[in-house]
Amino acid sequence: MTEPQTAATQPLLSVRNLQVSFDTPAGPFSAVRDVSFDVAPGETVAIVGESGSGKSTVAASINRLLAANGSVSGGSIRFEARELTALSEREMIALRGAGIGLVPQDPMSNLNPVHTVGAQILEALSVHGRGADGRARVLELLERVGIPDPEQRYQQYPHEFSGGMRQRVLIAMGLACEPRLLIADEPTSALDVTVQRRILDTMTELTDRTGTAVVLITHDLALAAERADRVLVMYRGELVEQGPAGSILEHPQHEYTRRLVSAAPSLATEPLVAEPDEEPSGEALVTVSGVGRRYALRGRARGQEFWAARDVSFRIPRGRTVSIVGESGSGKSTTAKILLGLETPSEGTIEIGGSDLASLRGRRLLAMRRRVQPVFQNPFASLDPRYTVAESITEPLRVHRVGDRRSRRARALELLEHVALPAEVLDRLPHELSGGQRQRVAIARAIALEPELVVLDEAVSALDVLVQAQILDLLVDLQQRLGLSYLFISHDLAVVQMISHEVHVMQRGRVVESGTPARIFSAPQQDYTRELLAAIPGASLEV
């Protein structure tokens, strides 16, 4: 019989035999089965696994934030010796934020669109009686998580931020009350490597200074290896392996863990496309010439202008992948929106297939939209919450009057197989899917019409490494079979190196360096490019 733990040695968080179930139209679904682990004060524990493995469900169970149809059906969750499953909702409200902080995965659905960013962070402080001198504290938090011009950004709304900057706001909210346990659910999946390093350094500083423990939910194995003390590997709702980060990732014992490690991309990974000896030539499907976009600022900065992109020029040859990399707010997504016709350029021109985009109207514009399809960074915002997966995937087919109802559903099933989703998700709604599953649905919808150009804005950043590898293989296969062209926007330089024929580096709205992946990543000319490469977490993972 083991000796009872003393207060000094008791874990901060103790999960025992956790089971989580969801009520579905098809009956109860067991999402988590018999999961047990401890988290000590000041310890960082990473939970890794593919999308749908149950890692985010475990995190939601700890904070009692499961969906309405979900429940803890067995086991125990103890935080500071208090049984969380037995607490009232009022007690949990008092604990959330102050005792257990949360950084959720999806920034747009977790920020209120009608309140300013500053007001939302201030609310997180005020709920726990820490609103005194709140504005100064909010500005400090915004600066700590890497948001430039915090005074100006304080009074802006979530839609005025890039996806990565919205994620940083959620991180500021999670850190606001300096909780004793921070649950970070994919906190850096939307962030470029430089900001990612700054955010994770901030989390490490908080842990060292206050003894705060971190439960890090991630699909990034290099990140887990670099930042976690211990790693838990989940697969299909079960905990299949756990131990020190180094031993788990350098000497994995379980077959699934070995598959995860071998699939993790790095700059040493063999490219998926044959890279040209020099910058791609040939017929251009898209020509971007001197494009820029400026916005008028509000509030105290009223009357001033902000250039999100300026003098951007590049071409996308047919059948090629052109990538844009850069930190959040560098102008990558603004450039993509202009190319898609979702934003009007303040300067410059875009030609697609020889036609000036600005001159297209009516049927010609509709025809162009069939030729150019997007995959956005945030799948929850790009999928209608009232549409089933089948309705979302077949929507472009309906709009362009392709096929009948039966053939469209058959096409949807085929596309689900392409993006590694089971047929049973066809009639589910977006909120019933994980973040990675929602992104796969968005990719399936984008390729439904077999377009000429697909604009992929952080299209694989939410995916675990196994599914990411499948999607990248799929994109390359489609490109080879159909002659597709891609504009691939990403902060993941290892992925960009694998799939690109040409790379453009953007900083503060401008292209600062261009070239083939081999030249950009092996002999960068700009200090900024070297900074991006130096910030990549971890080293190459090898079995």
25-52 confidence digits (pLDDT tens): 878 899 999 999 999 999 999 999 887 8
18 pLDDT band (50/70/90 cuts)? very high
Tell me which amino acid residue 281 is. S
Q: Is the dihedral of CA 295, 297, 298, 304 positive or negative?
A: negative
- Name the token pair of 129: 């009686």
Q: How much is the average pLDDT of 485-500? A: 90
- Name the token pair of 387: 């549409």
User: b or e along 257-282 (b: 16 or more beta carbons within 10 Å of the residue's beta carbon)?
Assistant: bebbbebbbbbebeebbeebeeebee
446/15 Cα distance (integer angstroms) = 40
Does residue 285 surpass a pLDDT of 90?
Answer: yes
> What pLDDT shows up at residue 315?
95
Q: Exposed/middle/buried for 8, CB within 10 Å: 0-12, 13-18, 19+?
A: exposed
pLDDT tens column, 207-259:
777 788 999 998 777 788 888 999 999 999 999 999 998 888 788 999 998 88
pLDDT tens column, 191-209:
777 777 777 887 787 777 7
- Name the token pair of 178: 């300096």
> What pLDDT shows up at residue 3?
39
Strands (E), 40-192: 44-48, 70-79, 82-83, 100-103, 181-185
- Gap between the terminal Cα atoms of the chain: 38
Strand pairing category for 230-235 and 238-244? antiparallel
Stated length of the chain? 543
Listed in sequence order, the residues at least 6 apart from 367 whose beta carbon sits closer than 8 Å to its beta carbon are none
The answer to whether residues 503 and 261 touch, using CB atoms and an 8 Å cutoff, is no
